[in-house]
């Protein structure tokens, strides 16, 4: 394993870990469920992807073995993680979790009220 590939693999894993740390800081600092979901659905995805790509490259260079399972894992995480973020936000909204005070506009509220009056 030469120096260049060592540096690339190390950098990938390090960037992935840093992004995961950013996700955690975001989860603590941001004010409400929805903004936290922003941080969790984006940074965590790319963080995990970076670590998996680093792992893939490491075993490829070190042992000459391309792990198909790691590639599949990358694809699955890439597709499912945004949907998880969407579903969490939607479930939170419809079970009445309040938005933070900083929120300035809420178009979804009018839609819900229209629906309620329509039912009555």
Binding site for another protein (CB under 8 A): 19, 22, 25-26, 29-32, 34-35, 37-39, 41-43, 45-46, 49, 78-79, 82-83, 85-86, 89-90, 93, 99-100, 102-109, 111
Shortest CB 6 distance to another protein, Å: 24
Residues 118 and 46: their CA atoms lie apart, in Å, by 42
Q: What is the DSSP letter of 60?
A: H
Residues 6 or more apart whose CB falls under 8 angstroms from that of 109 comprise none
Q: How far is the CB of 2 from another protein (least distance, A)?
A: 27
HSE toward the beta carbon, residue 47, CA cutoff 13 A: 14
Closest separation in Å from C-beta 99 to another protein: 7
Nearer to another protein, 6 or 25 (CB): 25
Q: Which is nearer to another protein, 103 or 113 (CB)?
A: 103
Distance, CA of 53 to CA of 67 (rounded, Å): 11
């Amino acid at each position: 394993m030469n120096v260049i590939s060592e540096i690339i693999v190390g950098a990938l894993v390090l960037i992935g870990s840093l992004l995961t740390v950013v996700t955690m800081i975001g989860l603590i600092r941001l004010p409400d469920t929805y903004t936290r979901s922003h941080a969790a659905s984006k940074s965590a995805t790319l963080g995990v992807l970076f670590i998996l790509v680093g792992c893939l490259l490491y075993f490829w260079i070190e042992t000459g073995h391309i792990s198909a399972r790691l590639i599949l894992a990358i694809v699955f995480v890439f597709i499912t993680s945004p949907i998880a973020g969407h579903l969490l936000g939607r479930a939170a909204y419809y079970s009445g979790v309040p938005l933070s005070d900083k929120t300035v506009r809420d178009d979804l509220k009018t839609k819900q009220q229209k629906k309620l009056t329509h039912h009555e």
